[in-house]
């Protein structure tokens, strides 16, 4: 009987250990700084964490998560501290995910429990955490007192401190800027001569707009009445710092990550649409500064090159918008947003829908 209890308790401890270690490591995928910054923007900022506190809190939290995954396998303070803290952390996660599900009014998107490595909906994560809590409570009754009588504080504190420091070393906190800061490595490939099978697609020449401007000079009063019903009034979209002419005419503004497979798929679909439509809205790309060296490969795979800018990770997520995910594709007309596709779920980019959208006259569009 004793052997069965020991085997069962060790099985639970190993399962919980794997759960926490994988969760901590997954939050640093595909690269530590990118993944942790994404975690901050998606999970911490909506809770009211400032841009100063969030980077520290996120790294400490992931470090503690990793430490618990290791400490659950040793016997120091196991019943008095490690298991209760693990249960408390899981309960906090359950509360947070329940709030997110209620606030968003649904169960869509990735909760971020396992980062981008293993997508999981909030409800799935809540069920997973509740099961883990029950297993830990059961473990408390399975463990004999002789196994949990050790109280070496330095082992527990040393492992915890080491894991937290390791997270800070893997993903050091960088200076945060909220501006659309273009990095020095930015190089507009659309101005270079393409090689291989890549088709250069440069800036659109909006012939219609030129003709309208010419007529406006000759007939200013009458033409104003026509324009007001054929195209929207110009407004400031907020992206002029990156693309000065973005608020004039029709534009396709994209938010992409160079190494993101879904972003590359969306870019390929846009290229195919552009090749079929002679009057396609000009494509402009904002890249996140994560693996920026992959941008040439990005354009090679998508089959065309477009004007682009690179901005840092935090400003990128801020520009993408709260609750939004990559790939992001906006349809802009004179600075007005008429459609915003984002993520890989219900609101993901749909080339058929976009084809119908860009062919609609102004009178049929709704913001």
Write a three-state SS string for 323-343: CCCCCEEEEEECCEEEEEEEC
The pLDDT assigned to 131 comes to 96
Instruction: Enumerate residues 6+ apart whose C-beta is below 8 A from 133.
Output: 87, 90, 91, 94
What are the backbone dihedrals phi and psi of residue 252, each rounded to the nearest 5 degrees, phi first?
A: -115, 105
Tokens of 125: 């994560």
The pLDDT assigned to 108 comes to 60
Tokens of 190: 């659309």
Greater model confidence, 310 or 28: 310
pLDDT class of 103 with cuts at 50, 70, 90 = low
For 136-185, the pLDDT digits (tens) are: 999 998 887 665 556 888 999 999 999 999 999 988 887 655 444 444 33
DSSP strand pairing (328-333 vs 282-288): unpaired
Looking at the chain, the number of H-run helices and the number of E-run strands are: 12, 7
SS3 30: coil
């Amino acid at each position: 009987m004793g052997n069965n209890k020991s085997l069962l308790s060790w099985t639970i401890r190993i399962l919980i250990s794997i759960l926490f270690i994988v969760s901590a490591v997954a939050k640093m995928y595909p690269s530590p700084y990118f993944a942790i910054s994404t975690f901050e923007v998606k999970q911490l900022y909506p809770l009211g964490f400032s841009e100063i506190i969030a980077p520290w809190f996120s790294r400490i939290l992931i470090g503690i998560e990793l430490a618990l995954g290791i400490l659950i396998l040793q016997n120091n303070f196991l019943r008095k501290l490690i298991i209760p803290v693990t249960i408390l952390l899981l309960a906090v996660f359950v509360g947070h995910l329940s709030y997110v599900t209620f606030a968003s009014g649904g169960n869509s998107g990735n909760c971020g429990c396992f980062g981008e490595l293993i997508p999981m909906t909030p409800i799935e994560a809540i069920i997973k955490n509740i099961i883990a809590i029950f297993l830990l409570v059961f473990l408390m009754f399975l463990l004999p007192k002789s196994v949990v009588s050790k109280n070496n504080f330095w082992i527990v504190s040393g492992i915890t401190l080491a894991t937290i420091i390791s997270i800070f070393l893997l993903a050091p906190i960088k200076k945060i800027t909220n501006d659309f800061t273009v990095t020095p490595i930015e190089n507009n490939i659309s101005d270079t001569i393409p090689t291989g099978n890549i088709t250069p697609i440069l800036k659109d020449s909006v012939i219609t707009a030129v003709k309208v401007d010419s007529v406006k000079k000759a007939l200013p009063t009458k033409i104003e009445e026509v324009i007001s019903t054929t195209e929207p009034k110009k407004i400031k979209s907020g992206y002029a710092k990156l693309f000065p002419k973005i608020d004039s005419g029709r534009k396709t503004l994209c938010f992409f990550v160079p190494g993101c497979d879904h972003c590359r798929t969306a870019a390929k679909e846009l290229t195919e649409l552009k090749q079929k439509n002679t009057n396609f809205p000009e494509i402009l790309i904002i890249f996140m500064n994560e693996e920026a060296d992959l941008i040439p490969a990005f354009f090679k795979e998508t089959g065309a090159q477009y004007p682009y800018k690179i901005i840092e990770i935090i400003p990128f997520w801020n520009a993408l918008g709260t609750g939004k995910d990559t790939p992001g594709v906006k349809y802009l007309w004179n600075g007005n947003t008429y459609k915003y596709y984002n993520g890989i779920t219900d609101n993901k980019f749909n080339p058929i829908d976009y084809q119908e959208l860009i062919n609609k006259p102004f009178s049929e569009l709704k913001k």
